[in-house]
Amino acid sequence: MSHASTLQVLGRDTPRQDGVAKVTGREKYASDMSLPGMLVARVLKSPHPHARVKSIDTRGVSDPQAVTLTPQEVPGIRFCPRLVSTPEATYKDWRVLTDKPRYVGEPVAAVAAESEEAAQRALEAMRVEYEPLAAVYDAFASMEEGAEPIHDVIELNDQALKVERNVACQMEAREGDPEEGFKAAAHVVERTYRTSRRYHAQLETKSVLVRPEPGGGVTIWSTTQTLHNTRILIHEIFGIPMGRIRVVKVPLGGSFGSSIQVNTVVPIAVALALKSRRPVKLSLTREEDLHDHCSYQMVFRLKLGADSDGKLVAGHLDAWLDIGGHQVQAYPLLGCVVGWWVSLYRLPHKSYVGKAVYTNKVPSCAFRGYGNPQITWAVETLMDELAEKAGVDPLDFRLMNYIGKGDLFWGQGPTVKSIIQSCGVEEILSRGSEMIDWYNRPKAGSQRGRYRRGVGMGRGYHTSSAGAPVPGTVVDFGGAMVKLNEDGTFDYVSAMMDHGGGTMDANAKIVAEELGVPIHKVNIVNADTGTTVYDVCTHASRGIYSGGGAALKVARQVKDKIRENAARLLDAYPHALKFRYDPERDQAVIYAEGVSGRELTFKELAYAMRHKNLGTVAAVDSYRQPSCPPHFTGYFVEVEVDTWTGRVRPLRVVAGADIGTVINPKLAAGQVHGGFAQGWSMVVNEDLPHDPATGDLLNRGFLADYKVPTTRDMPNLDDFTVFFTDTYEPTGPFGAKGIGEGALNPVAGAVANAVQNALGVRFYDLPITKDMILAAVGGKEGQA
């Protein structure tokens, strides 16, 4: 019998506490905030991909209420907007405003005025003289001898670091003897893969409201995944004591990793607020948001070898990451790329060389999966090709080689290693293959006619947090507070940010499960940096595993305190007291079993403690998880390819996920649906090409060229099956793991393999456009 059958709150769909506010439009996001006397800001952005600012003339600004800001008026220190790594892994090359822009759209100056229109007029009245510099838009061209340096010097661990050939940072890893391994291999395949750059397309663009305080501090409402890191960075830039910096939690309208870093608008608005001594609001338009962040474009040269029995024996990976004009998190990502790769399949011998390269493009940052969808696409397509060469079915080939329970995996890189303690890979692959009728799929390239169907599969995983048994280069801990109120309800307080997927509700359900009360008895408090302990940020699919782990830790402490205080009032031993919920009174009861009348409701306990001056039952604590267990996912996808138009259409999806104990079934399934939509679009749709003449984006907005899939582009609900495996993660709260990023990671591989099955043609660049399909089909059939 599954352990889930003993749970009272978890595993059941319940209304979200923020549900009514969101569906009625009453929820207030950072872009909805306003204050009396507020100024509205606009940013002057570089029209050049690479230039020096020779002068900025603000004399044309005639509005006496307008406040201008230039690079000379802000602290000139270098910083990194992402504070998730330790100092030795944090490269710094950003400034609040720059006099040497390195991409089209980089902030050069700013202005705040009484209205957005007035601010825009003032912005247009400013005159900037630029000295254009040579720009480069390709990572390999950027590394060539004689290429224009994008950064001469950056900073690492408070030391100046010279940049050579525009290589921002690099990493190498090696285990075993790959050369000897390849010599012993019976089958070897080596391919080069190139991914696209994608825009996050989150619902909410970047916004911030800053209020200067009388004592020299600031209060901040911003679009962010991290309250406390925002406070730390503002302290580092402006020198304001941290106790005078208050970052207030406001709902986040989606992010997909684009707000792990402190967004560029935040320090600009802080500087304007400090100068004007008035509240300042700054929000990006959608076009400006497109110029603010995107995913990493990656190029992989991947080589795998297998023996005559189909067992993998060796692998080598070269990875080049195009990071754009600045580093957000390049060095940690280099570690993650090798971690994602070597933790998919057993490789006794392996080697890796990774380089992050500056180009004059929009800076890249984390995008749901943090490099995992890119490398998993390459691995899963190469695994299919290698299986074909070895004469083994691709599904069987994966079952022979996957990393599972009891194996060591690298998680988020060489410094984040742990042992897998729960694994549902075999169940995902076996159940999924039966549902899709895998072994009866079409033979690759066997079909003729206009419409051709193909079935493909891909599997993958993501870590639940970046925890590990020993310290590494990733900061990963959080905290929570739970307290008993005088009416028998509880307050749950945490700095963890909910991206909109229900993370905070899930953690409240964990608290409710531990305390034996219904979910409506646990109130989620929207707090701030002054009323919460540190939480690194909501990333790495850590919301339930780490955030829920902290919530469970303090809930257990509260439970112990309830026992201790009730024992004093009931004249009983604390360890002998039991808990139950009484639905008639809508109260939890603590009682001495077998002793009539020895019981108290939680409300009666809190009431008595207040009147007897015994204090409040509460607990606050921090917690770091000892592991980062993988949540595994697998997709089986059937597609239809129109060989006359090149259009690819999804017909059927079977998706399995091992996420341990399922907290919210419908929300978890929703993550899978959303992950598929993003992965599908990654393969057939999305890219952010730059105009080589201007360095600007060719895609400027949703109404122009950048298209993302809608529900009409997805399979019907009846043709989209999601199932969860019956697993239990011993290190997770009530056995739970994450789901957010794992829902996306294997999709691209599954879709690409399905297209290959339909056409008999493999593609090594993303996206697989209609023109590419038409050219490939025409070329293949013209040779037949």
For the domain that residue 123 is a member of, what is the CATH number? 3.90.1170.50
DSSP β-bridge partners for residue 638: 455, 652
The CATH number for 454's domain is 3.30.365.10
In a domain, 183, yes or no: no
Number of neighbouring beta carbons within 10 Å of residue 224: 28
Residues 538 and 424 in one domain: no
Helix and strand totals (H; E) in the chain? 17, 30
Q: Which residues contact 24 (CB under 8 A, 6 or more apart)?
A: none
pTM of the shown model? 0.96
Answer yes or no: is 195 within a domain.
Answer: no
656 found inside a domain: yes
Residue 316 falls inside a structural domain: no
Contact (CB, 8 A) for 401 and 345: yes
Q: What is the dihedral of CA 552, 556, 562, 564, to 10 degrees?
A: -170
Assess whether 408 and 499 both reside in one domain. Answer: no
Helix, strand, coil tally for the chain in percent (to 5): 30, 25, 45
Q: Which residues contact 17 (CB under 8 A, 6 or more apart)?
A: 504, 505, 508, 523, 524
420 plus 503 within the same structural domain: no
Q: Are residues 394 and 510 in the same domain?
A: no
Please state the domain count of the chain: 3
The tens digit of pLDDT for each residue in 730-777 reads: 999 999 999 999 999 999 999 999 999 999 999 999 999 999 999 999
Indicate whether 17 and 44 sit together in one domain. no
Q: Residue with structure tokens 């193909």? A: 454
The structure tokens 């957010």 sit at 740
> Domain end: 623, 647, 672, which one?
623
* Residue 602 falls inside a structural domain: yes
**What pLDDT is recorded for position 1?**
42
Mode of pairing for the β-strands spanning 408-409 and 418-419: antiparallel
Question: For residue 295, is it within any domain?
Answer: no
Which of 273, 290, 307 is where one domain is finished?
A: 290
Residue 189 within a domain: no
Whether a cis peptide bond, with omega within 30° of 0, leads into 414 is no
What are residue 697's DSSP bridge partners? 690
Does residue 116 share a domain with residue 234? yes
Q: What local confidence, expressed as pLDDT, does residue 5 receive? A: 74
Partners of 684 in the beta sheet?
none
> Are 509 and 606 found together in one domain?
yes
The answer to whether 353 touches 318, Cβ cutoff 8 Å, is yes
Instruction: Give the separation between CA 782 and CA 784, rounded to whole angstroms.
Output: 6
603 and 649: one domain?
no
351: in domain: no
**Same domain, residue pair 695 and 652:** yes
Q: In b/e form, how buried is each residue of 551-576, taking b as 16+ CB within 10 angstroms?
A: bbbbbbbbbebbbebbbebbebebee
Q: What is the helix (H) or strand (E) element at residue 651, kind and residue range?
A: strand 648-658
The answer to whether the beta carbons of residues 98 and 106 sit under 8 Å apart is: yes
**Residue spans of beta strands (DSSP E) within 251-339:** 280-283, 297-306, 312-324
Statement to judge: residues 638 and 692 lie in one domain: yes
Over the chain (784 residues), what is each successive 10-residue block's mean pLDDT? 78 93 94 97 98 97 96 96 94 97 98 97 97 97 97 95 97 96 97 97 96 97 97 98 97 95 97 98 96 97 97 98 96 96 97 98 96 98 98 98 95 88 98 98 93 98 92 90 97 96 96 97 96 95 96 98 96 94 95 89 96 96 94 98 97 98 96 97 94 92 84 94 97 96 98 97 97 89 54
pLDDT per position as a tens digit, 557-614: 999 999 999 999 999 999 999 999 999 999 999 999 888 888 999 999 999 999 999 9
Cα–Cα distance measured from residue 140 to residue 120, given in angstroms and rounded to the nearest whole number: 38
Query: Domain range holding 99?
Result: 33-133+203-254+259-290
- Upper half-sphere CA count for residue 409 (Cβ side, 13 Å): 34
pLDDT of residue 706: 87
pLDDT at 784: 45
Confirm if 110 and 286 have CB atoms less than 8 A apart.
no
Give the domain-ending residue among 603, 623, 643. 623
Q: What is the DSSP letter of 697?
A: B
Q: Tell me: the pLDDT tens digits for 181-233? A: 999 999 999 999 999 999 999 999 999 999 999 999 999 999 999 999 999 99
HSE of 389 in the Cβ direction (CA atoms, 13 Å)? Answer: 19
- Domain match, 765 and 646 both: yes
Nearest residue to 379 (alpha-carbon basis) of 462, 454, 295, 304: 304
Distance CA 17, CA 676 (A): 27
412/116 Cα distance (integer angstroms) = 43
Residue 750, token pair as written in the block: 């599954």
Residues 265 and 410 in one domain: no
CA-closest candidate to residue 234, choices 223, 247, 225 = 247
Distance CA 248, CA 251 (A): 10
Residue type, position 469, single letter: P
Please measure the distance between the N-terminal and C-terminal CA atoms of the chain and give it in whole angstroms.
56
d(Cα 549, Cα 542) in Å, to the nearest integer?
A: 9
Cα 362 from Cα 105, distance rounded (Å): 8
